[in-house]
Amino acid sequence: MQPKVRKAVFPAAGLGTRFLPATKAQPKEMLPIVDKPIIQYGVEEALHSGIQNIIIVTGRGKSAIEDHFDVSFELENLLETRAKKDLLAIVRSISDMINVSYVRQKEALGLGHAVLRALELVGQEPFAVVLADDLIDAETPCLRQLLDVYSFFCSPVLAVMEVPRESISAYGAIDAEPISHNGSHDRVYRIRDLVEKPKPEDAPSNLAIIGRYVLTPEIFDSIQSVTPGSGGEIQLTDALKHLLRSRPIYAVRFEGTRYDAGDKLGFLKATVEYALRRPDLGAPFLDYLKTLKL
């Protein structure tokens, strides 16, 4: 029997070039959607999926992420003396929530390389990978949906979503056959092949891999076996393709909405929708939007 998935790796060492100049001196993972940094949504998703051990792969200029999940004595003292109990609880809940470790990726050499940096902290057990800039709004957390399938097959599981065919070249695509799982025939797939950023006409499907994975520790050997691509980057998709030779990999077309918060338009869409849903902001924000006469 496979051990339980206890750890989630958050690669957060990318350069965030799509969000320059905002990301010149601050990590994109710390950009707020309404009032919460992007990465905290991902950490909360992991927690709600039953994972408390968080491993964040950071790079240069990412110390704000460490500060965010650390205890802030000065801030807590100030809020305590000013009797701001609600804010104190919000600030404390962040550092109390998780057991967090950090590992550094000195150079942004790709997602595969970032995951490999977590090898020692993960050890020989299955683990999740969360790309926090893929913000997912779902009734059952996306990671939980993957873990449910993992616990059945005990093999790696990736999250996928349907995208318009002309957009597939921005993603990794899967060639896969639907399989029956718990009576559902249309959400779980067994992967036959993976292709990183295919041209629309060459894509095996319009099922795009997005930023949630449950992996088994053999992926580390596969990452070490693949040849770096352009710019010396090691792609996780290439490592998964390598792993596919020796074990099955599954995909789940998750239920929920994904926002690419690492991209300006995706970030704006998430901001508007999350703000509209907030009990304290939704109504006045909607009133304001109506005045725009769009």
Q: At how many degrees (to 10) do helices 85-97 and 38-48 cross?
A: 70
H or E segment and range at residue 219? helix 219-225
**By CB under 6 A, which span of 63-71, 105-113, 144-152, 177-185 interacts with ligand UTP?**
105-113
**By CB under 6 A, which span of 82-90, 104-112, 180-188, 221-229 interacts with ligand UTP?**
104-112
Angle at 256 between CA 254 and CA 260, to 5 degrees: 95
Q: Which of residues 244-263 bind ligand UTP (CB under 6 A)?
A: 262
Which of 2, 4, 17, 167 lies at the binding interface for ligand UTP (CB under 6 A)?
17
Q: Give the nearest distance from C-beta 108 to ligand UTP in angstroms.
A: 3
CA distance between the termini of the chain: 56
Q: Give the nearest distance from C-beta 117 to ligand UTP in angstroms.
A: 8
Q: Give the nearest distance from C-beta 115 to ligand UTP in angstroms.
A: 8
Distance CA 281, CA 274 (A): 10
φ/ψ bin of 83: left (φ > 0), alpha (ψ from -120 to 50), beta (otherwise): left
Residue 110 touching ligand UTP (CB under 6 A): yes
Which of 33, 65, 114, 210 lies at the binding interface for ligand UTP (CB under 6 A)?
114
Using DSSP, how many helices (H) and how many strands (E) does the chain show? 11, 13
Nearer to ligand UTP, 169 or 181 (CB): 169
Distance CA 8, CA 276 (A): 30
**Spacing of C-alpha 85 from chain mean position:** 31
Q: Which of residues 25-64 bind ligand UTP (CB under 6 A)?
A: 57
Residue 18 touching ligand UTP (CB under 6 A): yes
For residue 187, which of 239, 237, 238, 152 has the smallest C-alpha distance?
152
Q: Which residues, including other chains, have CB under 8 Å from residue 28's CB and lie 6 or more apart?
A: 14, 16, 19, 22, 38, 133, 262
**By CB under 6 A, which span of 5-13, 64-72, 181-189, 283-291 interacts with ligand UTP?**
5-13
**By CB under 6 A, which span of 44-52, 106-114, 144-152, 271-279 interacts with ligand UTP?**
106-114
Residue 119 touching ligand UTP (CB under 6 A): no
Nearer to ligand UTP, 12 or 240 (CB): 12
Which residue ranges make up the site for ligand UTP (CB under 6 A)? 11-19, 57, 105, 108-111, 113-114, 131, 133, 262
